[in-house]
Amino acid sequence: MSSGRSAGALPVVAVVGATGAVGIELLRCLEQRGFPLAQLRLLASARSAGKTLPFRGEPLVVEALAEDSFRGVDIALFSAGGGISKQFAPLAVEQGAVVVDNSSAFRRDPAVPLVVPEINPQMVKTHRGIIANPNCSTIIAITPLWPIHRVNPIKRLILSTYQAASGGGAAAMEELRESTHAYLQRQPFTPRVLPHPYAFNLFSHNSAINPDNGYNEEELKALYETRKIYGDESIRVTATCVRVPVLRAHSIAINFECERPITPDTVRELIGAAPGVRLVDDRERNYFPMPADASGTDPILVGRIRADLSDPSGRSIALFVAGDQLLKGAALNAVQIAELL
């Protein structure tokens, strides 16, 4: 750690974007996991300054984020958007903090480690002051696949995501609530946060489309981030990312092709013994991962494990996962990184 605190001393932790959907979950994760700290500072925009948030039974006052907010801070957990991260993360590092950033600002920077603790915890040691938290759908997709990739390398990965409102933050979650109420009451509703009507609808993920290849930013993140986290530039990845009218927790249909033949039983065995995941694969009851079950829970749920009948070589598997975007897809992963620090 780049701060000047003495060995054995508890760290001072700051949460940037404390009043947002992920910020609230960061506080809960720190509390529920008993994260050892000397002090917790809550930072947000000036309009949130003065609000209080509960932590370990006490109200903490939110402070306005400023250029000198990080003096004396050892670990800064950022979840306030890429623009804020680009502006303030270098300042935090200059003042002695290690930054765990939840935005996309530094993920593709070759000098910044991109970490999922169940996959590449050793990369934390390579940081130069900033560690990037991967995209939520990438974490949820590839964490369950890592134990498979270690024993039978995955050569091709096809993802179809069903992404909840939580991925758009508290404002998108509220828009889903409001638009659903209006729809059921047969009242008009004009979207303000998302580009299309959300209630009883789904649409292509609302990130920018690359004009050259037709992929949106969310889909390209799956490609670049998977390669970086796995440390394998040869993996072929394609994704179709869709926003669905689910309040919380992303689901993903996954098809992967391994280097050698692999059976569904082998996949179940490998995933069943892996950290951070839980098998939900009950064919008799037709019960498989659902966002309703994944919401508010730490593990990524994995099921519908079956051989891909379109691949006669026996090297391809199809499965379905669901994971809480605000927890393992964001706040929980960041706190796990902080624990490694």
Residues 6+ apart with CB under 8 A from 217: 104, 207, 208, 210
CA atoms of 134 and 114, how far apart (whole Å): 6
Q: With contact defined as beta carbons under 8 Å apart, do 166 and 325 qualify?
A: yes
What DSSP string describes 119-132? T-GGGGGG-SSEEE
What DSSP string describes 59-71? EEEEEE--TTTTT
* Start-to-end CA span in the chain (Å): 7
DSSP secondary structure code for residue 23 in this structure: H
Q: Which residue in 88, 53, 51, 58 sits closest to 73, CA to CA?
A: 88
Q: With contact defined as beta carbons under 8 Å apart, do 255 and 308 qualify?
A: yes
CA atoms of 217 and 104, how far apart (whole Å): 10
E-assigned strand segments in the chain? 12-16, 39-44, 52-55, 58-64, 75-78, 98-101, 130-132, 154-163, 203-204, 236-243, 250-258, 277-279, 300-307, 316-323
81's tokens: 């958007």
Tokens 């926003």 sit on residue: 243
Q: With contact defined as beta carbons under 8 Å apart, do 335 and 31 qualify?
A: no
Q: How far is CA 1 from the centre of its chain?
A: 23
Residues catalogued as catalytic: 136, 250
42's tokens: 């809550």
Largest CA distance in the chain: 62
CA atoms of 10 and 71, how far apart (whole Å): 16
